[in-house]
Structure 1
């Protein structure tokens, strides 16, 4: 794994050095801090949606955001649409961008924070997708069929309809999506072994994982622009059901049959409404406000059979959120801008968990709890452009939150934090940027960590932790970006985190664990993202893309007192992609896939490792027929996706106990096929 990362890094470094000797002919128009890519820049690649365009934009690392984060700034990604942040959480940013057809895109702007005249939500580089103006309507329909070779259902697919209307000052978009397909994470089959100290407890055999996901969601959004006032509204409704089936057909060391069955049905319903308001108070002063209200219901019915022992679990979670954000920007002069703002978020989670083992009820810590949080933040920042190629941003935020729990735990807490931030951007020349960020960050508490959460697919009953406090970190980040060969770029980023109240698994109650505060911790993260054409190397129309992320962290184990990595802080993940544009045949072919994934988790009575071997690849072919019809044929898992899960189990707990069993499960996901048709009217 490390050798792969090293090879990719070395290759990128060689290309960067080589590019320094080449003439730099940028394919995009450049202003200070803003690079504009017209739609024609992407046309030969036959893109279908805005998401395709984002993936092919050099000098940009896409951040999808995190819709599970409360509030607006913390959840945002780094892509705007027509200069507006999508005020939506029910759909992911990828889903929002996928719903925008390429045919309506005018241009894409890569904008440095110091050059932006809008709220960048703390991001140093953002992309703005600009759609075409003028009166025009576009209707797009899409249907995809998937053929599976390792799933009992055999066939799956998706259907979607997207409508877009632009008429002078008014824009309207709507989409309806239905999905009925295999859930990719972990689906497959393979060998299973449980090697126990007591040979009579050992097991071996094969298991089969058959997961299925059904969902439907509808979104409508629109905005109207007056001379100095702009109002946007959006509405989203989403419903999904996830079916997880696990079947283990094992034998004991003595040859006796031993079955393990997991059957889980998990439902999720979301309703969301949002609004965005922009007011031009004067030529150099602007006010922007955002509002969001969200209601979500999540529940599951779980069944686990291990040998002759049966476990049942039912859980219901109801979450409501109301968030608002306002920011006032004042451009005092060309070199200096000021911003003042505030954000408030009000959240409430009601949870009820019921578990029975062998027909006997089992009480978990915090299995019936209501959590309420009111959080307020005020902030101010100054942007100073010392020179056309050098800028600084200094800011200070104050956060206050009040947390209250009722039910199994009754307590209230208040937290106050000062959060300074400093960034600097230096454009060494027209193709090289260096960025620095120093910031204090206060993490958000995962509401679900307060409540008990049975996870029968892992055979784990996790407690809730009423004594959680936010994770605090001092973050130091250095980023180097180099653009070359017109369409190429390489971005290397290192971020160092110094944590207080670091989150990990900690003991709760008798024999249980939960997410909790584990004291101080340190973490480092390297990201290398490359995007470069292979034309200068003789392969006309081909483009290579990659992204590799390597983590390292240290924390004191709450159970053993030893130093180790943080749980759930992935140690490595990587992605590669290759596209080849063939305009003569109106086609693009490509391959992409993950080159690795590794994660470790340390719990009260087990150590778990999940690892994917490199190169589960997908290959695809896009073909357009005229301007209105496109077809994609894709072979997924052209090289098999292999995943290994190893659990070292400690019968008396890891705190001084010994390993009593080692469980190993190897999953291989078979090849499957997709045919997609997309028609524009």
Structure 2
């Protein structure tokens, strides 16, 4: 069985997007020239003036960005990117990648999402939008690819109120409602934005399982129906004050509260028949306060400071009941409480050395705390007392300090070299508070030196070559430190407080061609990543020999098969157990092809087709089978197509998005789970009813399929190769219709 654990890839999918790109490259619009293109000593910049967007009658800043080739992809990526604390997220404010800036600065926040901020800014407040490609000095970000810089109008006296009402209906559910009200304006040297939003939504999905024995004979079926109800209320604010001496202070705040409940009916027939109800109630609250300050210090240079402070709490209660159709009773109760806090301060001074060189140096300090407790109790009969089966209580403190230097050298008008060196000193103190209130402490110090070199060469004004070499360190996901119950696989995932951050050496090279007269662009990027301390599921089993003495893993598997040893490990030892942990080496390589094309030449004036294809081949040694495989949950091929057509004479726009990926698999100590994701298809249409008022209709999840998967379960350890059962799973979701009306006054 192990030798057959290979992911099957449909070869037809590999060439689909490449054929689409090749076809549409023949139809580039060369007659569209409403924007200006400039090349400075610092970067290649495409500028879209305010007049460019007047034809489209945009209501918000998001509406404007949707008309800019390349911008929708960045917006989609920003929506998918999790906030601080997620695994594989880079540490600190100084990370690279595609970013969206406002007046050359990032939003000083982690939870206060940039996309939400953009949707609350009126189009009347925007002066112009710049697309900056490649290395550039004087920005709050280092980027290998595209940076969008939004310049707001200065001193606009007119205040604007933006409103949005959204009704979201999922097939088979009553409509949910969302209300957003935002007011922006200025008074003297103060610019302000205040907003409030309320949301209430319902949803459901259905999963069908089929069970098979070791002879591949069907033994039963199960239907899992999950109903969701989510409510939230949040308030946001953004303030900007322009001092007389040219200094600028920006502040932003967020307060959010909400709850979500879901009930899951789990009905199984055949062998092991059961009728269960799992109920989950979750209360959430969060606040954040951030800001930045810039001031020109004359000959010393420009001073910049950024800070953010936030706190979030999540309180989750779970009741699991059985015999729902006869004599129901609760057999499991769980409680999870999570409190996380973060404070970050970054300060730097930027100085122009001469006409071709600038330097920035400074430091950053971050203080994180993460407290999480998990308690699960079971009972067999309604009259029995609850017995604790899993408990964990972890308190984590992380202090991180960085010093950094960034240097930008404009070697010529067409060649820019940007280099940086960051040194990090960090400490993680993780306390496991045991049931008897004793503490098991892990105290670890880390030092990382993180160099980065980026070069940009403009071969011609429309052709650019870029290359980057960078050392990265991931942000730890502290949820991996704490035990939890995995509802998908119906097992406990035990925590490990000894996880170290991943280290990645990344090598990137890219070629980009911009078609004439804003016809679009085509970019090809190759990459190679070398990982140290890659975080994966690892083997934490305590192995014994024939005399039940402790031995290593390889020594155990060198022994002749012996059921008594396996029974001893399972019954009296820790069991065959896996946890998240670090492995020595791993790598991945591949390429991205991105294109954004205007289709005016084929009669589709103001139509834009954007496409992205990613191929990534990864390599790691499986910690259970000891065979080489791809990363868990990583598809080799990912496609994303976006289309938008503006019929400006009618005030109508329509379009859609299709995204899909190839097969992938999940690996653990007791199972192997290959799965086939399904395409995600959505379409939209929007119409300007009056000047400043727009209605939009979105139809989402049109395929109604989330994907299919198989699961092969093993009695003990997958390497022993004793298959106990298998499953087939298919998940369906309801089609979703979202109608919104928005406007300004």
TM-score (norm 2): 0.84
Offset at residue 369 of structure 1 (A): 1.2
| Superposition map of 1:482-501 within 5 A | 482-485=513-516, 486-501=518-533
2:615 equivalent to 1:550: yes
Contact in 2 for aligned 1:203/1:251 (Cα 8 Å): yes
Alignment partner of 1:261: what SS? strand
Q: Using the alignment, how far apart are the partners of 1:304 and 1:46 within structure 2?
A: 52
Among 520, 532, 538, the alignment partner of 1:506 is 538
**Cα gap change, 1:190 to 1:44, in 2 (>3 Å):** farther
Offset at residue 279 of structure 1 (A): 0.8
The structure 1 segments of at least 4 consecutive aligned residues displaced by more than 6 Å after TM superposition are 21-24, 198-201, 306-309
Alignment partner of 2:297: what SS? strand
**Which residue is equivalent to 1:218?**
235
2:52 equivalent to 1:36: no
Residues 487-518 of structure 1, C-alpha deviation per residue, up to 9 Å, x if partnerless? 41222222211011111011336233222102
**Which residue is equivalent to 1:269?**
285
Alignment partner of 1:41: what SS? helix
Contact in 1 for aligned 2:98/2:146 (Cα 8 Å): no
Alignment partner of 1:301: what SS? strand
Among 332, 340, 358, the alignment partner of 1:319 is 340
Which runs of no fewer than 5 residues in structure 2 stay unpaired? Answer: 1-9, 86-90, 324-328, 380-385, 434-439, 542-573
**Cα gap change, 1:117 to 1:521, in 2 (>3 Å):** same
Residues 5-24 of structure 1, C-alpha deviation per residue, up to 9 Å, x if partnerless? 422124324655876x9689
Offset at residue 636 of structure 1 (A): 2.3
2:58 equivalent to 1:27: no
Offset at residue 538 of structure 1 (A): 2.6
**Which residue is equivalent to 1:301?**
317
**Which residue is equivalent to 1:588?**
653
Which runs of no fewer than 5 residues in structure 1 stay unpaired? Answer: none
2:208 equivalent to 1:191: yes
**Cα gap change, 1:398 to 1:216, in 2 (>3 Å):** same
**Superposition RMSD on alpha carbons, in Å?**
2.7
Q: Using the alignment, how far apart are the partners of 2:33 and 2:536 within structure 1?
A: 49
**Which residue is equivalent to 2:17?**
8
Offset at residue 654 of structure 1 (A): 1.6
Alignment partner of 1:89: what SS? coil
Contact in 2 for aligned 1:491/1:530 (Cα 8 Å): yes
Contact in 1 for aligned 2:57/2:692 (Cα 8 Å): no
Offset at residue 294 of structure 1 (A): 0.8
Contact in 2 for aligned 1:150/1:188 (Cα 8 Å): no
Among 375, 391, 397, the alignment partner of 1:354 is 375
**Cα gap change, 1:431 to 1:27, in 2 (>3 Å):** same
Contact in 1 for aligned 2:96/2:142 (Cα 8 Å): no
Q: Using the alignment, how far apart are the partners of 1:672 and 1:213 within structure 2?
A: 16
2:419 equivalent to 1:419: no
Contact in 2 for aligned 1:16/1:482 (Cα 8 Å): no
Residues 186-215 of structure 1, C-alpha deviation per residue, up to 9 Å, x if partnerless? x42253212232889932143322223222
**Which residue is equivalent to 1:434?**
465
Q: Using the alignment, how far apart are the partners of 1:532 and 1:72 within structure 2?
A: 33
**Which residue is equivalent to 1:656?**
720
Offset at residue 541 of structure 1 (A): 2.8
Structure exhibiting the larger radius of gyration computed from Cα positions: 2
Q: Using the alignment, how far apart are the partners of 1:197 and 1:469 within structure 2?
A: 39
**Which residue is equivalent to 1:250?**
268
Contact in 1 for aligned 2:698/2:737 (Cα 8 Å): yes
**Which residue is equivalent to 2:497?**
466
Among 602, 606, 615, the alignment partner of 1:537 is 602
Offset at residue 290 of structure 1 (A): 0.5
Greater RCO (Cα-Cα under 8 Å, separation 6 or more): 2
Q: Using the alignment, how far apart are the partners of 1:24 and 1:332 within structure 2?
A: 40
Q: Using the alignment, how far apart are the partners of 2:705 and 2:282 within structure 1?
A: 25
**Which residue is equivalent to 2:481?**
450
Alignment partner of 1:448: what SS? helix
Residues 28-50 of structure 1, C-alpha deviation per residue, up to 9 Å, x if partnerless? 33232222112333444454433
2:159 equivalent to 1:143: no
**Cα gap change, 1:249 to 1:387, in 2 (>3 Å):** same
Alignment partner of 1:518: what SS? strand
Alignment partner of 1:3: what SS? helix
**Which residue is equivalent to 1:665?**
729
**Cα gap change, 1:306 to 1:26, in 2 (>3 Å):** farther
Alignment partner of 2:118: what SS? helix
Alignment partner of 1:269: what SS? strand
**Cα gap change, 1:45 to 1:551, in 2 (>3 Å):** farther
Q: Using the alignment, how far apart are the partners of 1:326 and 1:438 within structure 2?
A: 25
| Superposition map of 1:513-524 within 5 A | 513-524=578-589
